[in-house]
Amino acid sequence: MRTHTSSFLTPSSLTRLALLCGAAAAAALSGAACASSAPSPFPSAGGAGGEGGEGGAGGEQAPADPTLGGPCVDDDQCEDGFPCTFDACDTALGRCRFTPDDSACQNDVYCDGVERCNPRLGCVTGAPVACDDQSTCTIDACDEATRTCSSAPRDADLDGDPDEHCGGGDCDDADPTVSSAQPEVCGNDRDDDCDGRTDEGDCVSPEHDTCLDALEISAPGSYAMTTAGAGFHYASSCGLPRPASTHDVVAAVILPPGPPVDVEVTARTEAPDAETEATDVAVTLAGQCGDAATELACGGPHETADGGKLAKLRARGLGDPERATALPLYVTTKAGAPVIVDVAFLPPAPAPENETCGTAAPLSPGAPALATILDAALDLGTACETGLGELVYTFELAEPQDVDLYAISTDGDGDPSLSLRSAACALPEDELACQTAPAPHLFRRALPAGVYAVAVSATAPTSVLVTLELSPPTEPPPDEACEGAAELAPNRTVSVSLLGHQDDVDLGCGPAAVDAVYALELPVASDVLLVEKLSAGDSGAIALSAPACGGEGDRLACGEGNVTPLRSARRNVAPGSYRVVAEAQLGQPVSVTAFVRPAVPPTLVPFSDACEGALEIPESGGFFQGNTANAAADFNAGCDRAGTAEGGARDQLLRLTLTARRRVVLDMAGSSYDTLLSVRRGPGCPGVEMPLSCTIGTDPQRSFLDLVLDPGVYYLQIDGHALAHGLWFLDVRVVDPGDGAGP
């Protein structure tokens, strides 16, 4: 038989209870055990974060703090496994605190919405950007390229002219050959230009619309043609996809009796204005008009270096020694437009034989080689893909040498592309370096003795002069490679010439480019912000990497593009040794700064909507997150779009007090909208906007300021460009300006 213990308290037990719980508590107990009024540091059955909370009035449960975890005495006990939370021991409570950092979850994709950090789930996806303006007259979409919502006027036939019922000029939005942008075509008894009249006096009769009225070209030269009002009749293997608005016209290329010639044809279109792109163009030369099986050569559209469009072909060994030969030439455009057609009769020449690694032509040092990039096949894998094929050259080194390769277009139509390759040549992993640029330059230091290949391509059909220069091997600069990299002092700006550097590191961050590498030592967990200022006209990348620099797996942060300064950031980086990799595609000078501070949790800015209650930023800086969606529009900004309503976009205000002269870096990268950031000088609020201290951020890296400020009170206006608002991040770095460390 089991003995049961009574659940009632005896007088002697009440006495003992009073000693443990206090006399007042014991007097209130008639049949319950002692209950502490202090919150338990242990998670309840509701979850690790302490769900359920503490008892409230009337038996209600106080809301649980989702950022709180279990008990702790130091930070090492507070790892929750979610990279997006800042994990630390709240010593005041004796519990872990997991502060969510939304900036760590952003995937740099605008249209899929703003990712958030849930302290119990980690990164969670956001709601996709909603772009419906509730108008039946617009086609609404999220534009990832511009990171905005676009509302295009309804244009069912895609002819570029919106429906007249929605404010456009298209009187028949089901027919792409009818619109206010079309010419009136004579004799078809319809209103082609939507002016309410048919076949009026300024109508046009399409010229050279078919083979029956082809333009005769019997001599080399330039010929003006137009596809305006023409139909589409002739398909080809490299022609344009056929939307209903495609047009073509025909020329007859007449070759006189005689020996064979090569016929080269170039067709060009230009942009009608700065706001409109040039229309795509294609050219096709055939043996018989209307018979696609007799196609001799064709060229599809390419964008030229000056912003126009170009198509080019070369047909080889044509003509008849006994009689004249007439060959149909089709000129096709995506929309009706003027076209300049250049025709040349050239001495017959075979297609280049150096198409592959096995048929590569020799390249001699100091002797430029002319590579015509037109109809070569695409054979080789490269990181500098251009869409056109390549020609291949080879050279041999009897001993180690420094190698310089240069290229330049002779006509300026396309940007040359160079690829230096090992003797194996054909596969992507055989590529040692590549570059595509208006005037690419590849440099390799102390290339070992052996055989090498050079592949030459371009972004549009062009002729390229390629030059090889050899020189005695030189020693690398101290910031050349990841191994043994020169140390970069935190919070100090260094100038990097990149002279004598080569492309050593491939982290998958930015295009192939000349780089410099520095070692960054972090004694404690740190927030790292890398800033690279580019030379005018250059593009590049700035990255944080593990010491091996072994590829994308070692990359911790990456910023790339042609907007200067480039930035990349990684918060709460573990102590250790790292590498900072700065790249510039043209090899022009850059400056590099690694801003480093001990890791801090993000600070949420829930209100701070006006002068009253403006959040105070510690003089040491910090990382801040807010949302202007529910804020008021209080302050104007000097750099906002002209004509914006009074107060501009919704804004928030932060205050920074400096006791000494400081360099203050403000970075809004990762914010979800087109930001505007303005620094105002106090002491009165909101202060006076300072010169050169207002900046907008319409590019993905958002607003950025690098200022040297005197002691005093400053107000930071978090605003939006052209009424934009939303989730924002602000990284504030406050450092000693130092000698030569200014912006």
Angle at 495 between CA 489 and CA 499, to 5 degrees: 125
Q: Answer for the pair 514, 582: CB distance below 8 angstroms, yes or no.
A: no
Task: Determine, yes or no, domain membership for 204.
Answer: no
Nearest to 696 by CA among 628, 633, 632, 649: 649
Distances (CA, A) of 555 to 543, 587, 606: 7, 22, 33
At 37 the pLDDT is: 41
Q: Which domain holds residue 731?
A: 603-735
Task: Determine, yes or no, domain membership for 509.
Answer: yes
- What is the DSSP-derived secondary structure letter of residue 214? P
Looking at the fold, whether 224 and 313 belong to one and the same domain comes out as yes
Strands 615-617 and 652-658: parallel
Which of 573, 598, 623 is the C-terminal boundary of a domain?
A: 598
CA distance 672 to 688: 27
CA distance 625 to 604: 5
CA distance 32 to 617: 50
CA distance 466 to 372: 11
Which DSSP string do the residues of 560-625 spell out, in sequence order? EESSSSEEEEEEEEPSEEEEEEEEETT---EEEEEEEEE----EEES---SSTTPEEEPTTEEEEE
Residue 689 sits in a domain whose CATH number is 2.60.120.380
Looking at the fold, whether 306 and 376 belong to one and the same domain comes out as no
CA distance 528 to 524: 11
Angle at 556 between CA 552 and CA 557, to 5 degrees: 100
Q: Answer for the pair 499, 474: CB distance below 8 angstroms, yes or no.
A: no
Strands 621-627 and 603-605: parallel
Looking at the fold, whether 319 and 257 belong to one and the same domain comes out as yes
Looking at the fold, whether 27 and 59 belong to one and the same domain comes out as no
At 244 the pLDDT is: 64
Looking at the fold, whether 533 and 647 belong to one and the same domain comes out as no
At 4 the pLDDT is: 37
CA distance 497 to 287: 57
Task: Determine, yes or no, domain membership for 144.
Answer: no
- Residues of the chain falling short of pLDDT 70: 1-63, 243-244, 739-743
Which run of H or E residues covers position 14? helix 11-21
Give the SS3 label for residue 358. Answer: helix
At 103 the pLDDT is: 87
At 698 the pLDDT is: 87
Cβ count near 230 (within 10 Å)? 25
SS3 of 520-557: EEECCCEEEEEEEECCCCCCEEEEEECCCCCCHHHEEE
Task: Determine, yes or no, domain membership for 730.
Answer: yes
CA distance 600 to 571: 8
Tokens representing residue 516 in the block = 């410099």
Q: Answer for the pair 383, 430: CB distance below 8 angstroms, yes or no.
A: no
Looking at the fold, whether 93 and 56 belong to one and the same domain comes out as yes
Looking at the fold, whether 580 and 650 belong to one and the same domain comes out as no
For 213, residues 6+ apart whose C-beta sits below 8 A from its C-beta are 207, 250
**Alpha carbon 74 to its chain's center:** 41
At 189 the pLDDT is: 82
Looking at the fold, whether 466 and 534 belong to one and the same domain comes out as no
Cβ count near 1 (within 10 Å)? 3
Looking at the fold, whether 318 and 261 belong to one and the same domain comes out as yes
Work out the widest C-alpha separation in the chain, in whole angstroms. 133
Q: Say which amino acid occupies 406.
A: Y
Question: Given strand 688-697, what is the order of strands in its sheet?
Answer: 615-617, 652-658, 712-720, 675-681, 688-697
Instruction: Give strand pairing partners of 41.
Output: none
Exposure of 631 by Cβ count < 10 A (0-12 exposed, 13-18 middle, 19+ buried)? Answer: buried
Which residue matches tokens 């437009």? Answer: 337
Task: Determine, yes or no, domain membership for 177.
Answer: no
Looking at the fold, whether 663 and 708 belong to one and the same domain comes out as yes
Question: Given strand 576-584, what is the order of strands in its sheet?
Answer: 486-487, 514-522, 576-584, 540-545, 555-561
* Cis peptide preceding 41, ω within 30 of 0: no
When divided into structural domains, the chain yields a total of 6
Which run of H or E residues covers position 733? strand 727-735
Task: Determine, yes or no, domain membership for 201.
Answer: no
CA distance 578 to 575: 9
Distances (CA, A) of 229 to 104, 159, 651: 55, 13, 52
Task: Determine, yes or no, domain membership for 194.
Answer: no
Which run of H or E residues covers position 24? helix 23-28
Strands 391-397 and 361-362: parallel
In the chain, the N- to C-terminal Cα span, in Å, equals: 86
Looking at the fold, whether 285 and 261 belong to one and the same domain comes out as yes
Which residue matches tokens 């600070």? Answer: 603
Tokens representing residue 263 in the block = 């016929």
Nearest to 590 by CA among 533, 636, 552: 533
Tokens representing residue 703 in the block = 């607003």
* Cis peptide preceding 220, ω within 30 of 0: no
Looking at the fold, whether 283 and 217 belong to one and the same domain comes out as yes
Residue 342 sits in a domain whose CATH number is 2.60.120
Tokens representing residue 79 in the block = 């790892």
Which of 560, 575, 598 is the C-terminal boundary of a domain?
A: 598
At 2 the pLDDT is: 37
Which of 346, 370, 394 is the C-terminal boundary of a domain?
A: 346
Task: Determine, yes or no, domain membership for 592.
Answer: yes
- What is the DSSP-derived secondary structure letter of residue 2? P
Q: What is the pLDDT of residues 197-241, one digit of tens each?
A: 888 877 877 889 999 999 999 999 999 999 988 889 998 998 887
